Amino acid sequence: MAFDPKDHQHERFNPLTGQWVLVSPHRLKRPWTGQVEKPEEEKIPSHDPKNPLCPGSSRPNGKVNPNYDGVFVFDNDFPALLPEVPSPDESDDVLERSRGTKGTWYDFAFVVCTLLNAYTSLVLYCARVASCCQSA
């Protein structure tokens, strides 16, 4: 029998911790004998005024989105990167080694008809974002 990492237990080495980790993928094949409940069907509104990404909604920073149709690109209200920040001092301590980084973080919001299925919505979203990025 040939080894198949998707079916046979094995250990993998974690270079960050220097330890071996047990992987047991065959356990996913255990039968489930517990209760299985049908999820409730959720009625998704075409516009949710509480959603800060919807057209015309207020965002947490107080800005109001325009009544856009399609893709709306805006600076992230709480970005992971800022365009202008000071750099940290250099340190000889290997555990406190760091370096500065700067950037701009954008968010993309889009309007998709809720009657479309998820796959079609995703394809339309990707096409709209690609088009928007090319024009930016």
pLDDT, tens digit, for every residue of 67-110?
887 788 888 888 877 788 787 778 787 666 777 777 887 777 76
Distance CA 106, CA 60 (A): 16
Question: In the prediction, which pLDDT does 129 show?
Answer: 52
What backbone phi and psi angles, to 5 degrees, belong to 126? -60, -40
Contacts for 134 with CB less than 8 Å, ≥ 6 apart: none
- Whether 77 and 59 have beta carbons less than 8 Å apart is answered as yes
- pTM for this model (two decimals): 0.47
Contacts for 105 with CB less than 8 Å, ≥ 6 apart: 75, 76, 79, 80, 81
Query: Does the pLDDT at position 52 exceed 80?
Result: yes
Q: Read off the amino acid at residue 76.
A: N
Question: What's the N-to-C CA distance of the chain in angstroms?
Answer: 55
Which helix H or strand E contains 13, and what residues bound it?
Answer: strand 10-14
Give the whole-number percent of the chain exceeding pLDDT 70: 76
Whole-Å CA distances, 131 to 104, 107, 113, 135: 19, 15, 19, 6
